[in-house]
Amino acid sequence: MQITSFRFLRAAFSAFSALLIMSTAVLAGPPLICHSFDIGTARSLPWISHDWNLAGSENFDTNKLAAETLAILDASDVPLVHMETLRRATLYARKDPAAAKQLLLKLVARVQSNELAVRPNAFAFFDSAYLVETFKQWLGEKNRNPANALDSSAWLRKAIQLRGDDPQMELAAALITLNGPQAEHREHADRAISGAKHDQLLARNLQSHFRGSQGQTLAEIILSSDPKTVAKN
């Protein structure tokens, strides 16, 4: 990792207490949706847009959304790949309520089968928790959102417990808990920042700017979060 990366992360971490009391700019949209994650050359759902939203030129067949999403998730053990894939899946799902419901049902079914497994897969719980939260941020609270009645918190805790020391999952948890509980959020943020010292992909993501070069970095957002500043869809 470059020296500048370490310096950036150390500076962000040492400024933690000060950042917590600083006022922050309002995020320009749901944090799990409006910020694309750097996954390097890893495979994800097809994407043409240069911005976070669909440009209108994507021709992905949403009838294949559940099958293709699960194939990508099953092939990767990198949480950031799961986060970016589920972000893209949610953007596509908004166009197709039937595909949205099918994808959610498939992921929930994975949770149910892993609850009885001798060696449960942490990502089964993580993926369901993350999709529930992206759906809640992007599909709204009306009947078109099949995740409205679901609580992701137990699944997320189970995923982190099973996975062990994984700072990328901690980043996901920090983003999910931006609106609280604040004590839990701060613990996830601390672990994500600290773990980035040994994870170049995570470090790059923490240094990336939310919605453009003038915005806060992802590290600054999770360290200085204020529930009042996080926009909801």
pLDDT tens digit sequence for 117-163:
999 999 999 999 999 999 999 997 766 799 999 999 999 999 999 99
Kindly report the average pLDDT of the chain as a whole number. Answer: 85
Burial class (CB in 10 A: 0-12, 13-18, 19+), 214: exposed
Q: What pLDDT band is residue 22 in, cutting at 50, 70 and 90?
A: very low
Q: How many CB atoms lie within 10 A of CB 211?
A: 17
More confident residue, 156 or 16: 156
Highest mean pLDDT among 26-35, 50-59, 196-205: 196-205
- What distance in Å separates the CA atoms of residue 223 and residue 38, rounded to the nearest whole number? 20
- What pLDDT, on a 0 to 100 scale, did the predictor assign at position 19? 37
User: pLDDT at position 18, please?
Assistant: 37
pLDDT band at 30 (very low <50, low <70, confident <90, very high): confident
Q: Give, as one character, the DSSP assignment of residue 217.
A: B
**% the chain with pLDDT above 70:** 77
Q: Does position 174 have pLDDT exceeding 60, yes or no?
A: yes
Confidence check: pLDDT of 226 > 50: yes
pLDDT at 44: 95
pLDDT band for 21, please (50, 70, 90 cuts).
very low
Read off the pLDDT of residues 60-107 as tens digits, 9 standing for 90 and up.
899 999 999 999 999 999 999 999 999 999 999 998 999 999 999 999
Q: Which residues contact 87 (CB under 8 A, 6 or more apart)?
A: 32, 33, 36, 37, 134
At 48 the pLDDT is 74
The residues facing 209 across adjacent strands are 217
For residue 13, is pLDDT > 60?
no
Residues 182-198 have a mean pLDDT of: 96
Rounded to two decimals, the pTM is 0.84
137 vs 21, more confident:
137
